[in-house]
Structure 1
Amino acid sequence: MAALAVIFGGDSVLPVVGFPPPFPQWYEQIRANRLGSAATVWIVGNVMHGSLASTGAFELVLDGRTLFSKLAEGRMPHMNEIIALVDEHMLQGNHMQQ
């Protein structure tokens, strides 16, 4: 999202994040080809998302202890279940052990 904000609103965004005019050369190249830059960001983002999401693995690990594993359980946890697992772990004092 930040990359798209720079691509389409860079003249307003860059000064806010510490790049006052004159803008860097890399931004001038992006500004000259906004559509191509946005398409590149979109494609790279989709490739990264696909490679990160393809394993199907999800683990909730706290203090080195696995509280939930999607691969072991065969499902994703519900939010209430996550809260209960973390609460139980904290109440047992496991977070203070090294």
Structure 2
Amino acid sequence: MQMAYDAKLLRVPGIHWLGVFPSDSEKFRLPNGCLLNLTAKDRQKAESILTRCYLRKETPKWRLELEIMLEKGVKFEIEALSASSLSFLSTYIPQKIHEGLYI
């Protein structure tokens, strides 16, 4: 944020979010033990990110995922997806890439 004056030079317009999304917790039926409550600092960071103007126009799916996380009040790490099977991650990421399930 301190270098906002150079934003046009520093941005990466082709970046994609690959990995777990807050909406994946329901999709993959994560056990409650894998979910972590958001801390006050987590909430503050997410709310700060949501105020950035580019999230309104350029990346509405990112915005939606952050809103889901705030609404549910929980987060999880990608390792949580291996709760049901240790080999799950070795198929999850390639499948997301192949199917274009990234934002």
TM-score range with shorter-chain normalisation?
under 0.3
Normalized per residue, which structure has more strand? 1
Quick one: higher RCO (CA 8 Å, sep 6+), 1 or 2?
2
What is the TM-score of this pair, normalised by structure 2?
0.24
Larger Rg: 1
Normalized per residue, which structure has more helix? 1
